[in-house]
Amino acid sequence: MPSGSSSTSSASSSSRTRHPDGERQARAVGAQFAGRVGLFLRVDDFEAAYDRMRSMGVEFVTRPRQEPYGQVVVFVDVAGNRWDLLGPRPPR
């Protein structure tokens, strides 16, 4: 594994985190998308994912809402990046 990175994994997922390499990169952490949503997490069961994330202390910055394309709520990660949690439209 390269220096300046860490890795976690479980039976269902894995991730690798790179740490800033110098002051310039450190200043950019969390500002890559100028305060707008720049990342998207699509799930099959929106309510279950939302409830699980809330129970784990994820910071949500909007309330869940319905859009023509499905359910959506915005959350921030540990670096301050904004994400859309996206789920399918609920059945009618």
How do residues 29-82 score in pLDDT, each as one tens digit?
A: 556 656 678 799 999 999 999 999 999 999 999 999 999 999 999 999 888 888
Residue 29 located in a structural domain: yes
Q: Assess if residue 71 is contained within a domain.
A: yes
Q: Is residue 43 part of a domain?
A: yes
Would you state the pLDDT for residue 1? 47
User: 70 is in which domain, residue-wise?
Assistant: 5-87
Domain of 26, CATH number, reads 3.10.180.10
- Give the count of domains, the chain: 1
Within a domain: residue 61? yes
H or E element, residue 27: helix 23-28
Write out the E strands in the chain. Answer: 5-9, 14-18, 37-42, 59-60, 65-67, 70-76, 82-87
User: Would residue 27 count as lying in a domain?
Assistant: yes
Tell me what pLDDT residue 8 has: 47
Better-scored residue on pLDDT, 21 or 88: 88
What pLDDT is stored for residue 76 in this prediction?
Answer: 92
12 has a pLDDT exceeding 90: no
Q: Is residue 92 part of a domain?
A: no
The answer to whether residue 10 scores a pLDDT higher than 70 is: no
| Banded model confidence at residue 17, pLDDT cuts 50, 70, 90 | low
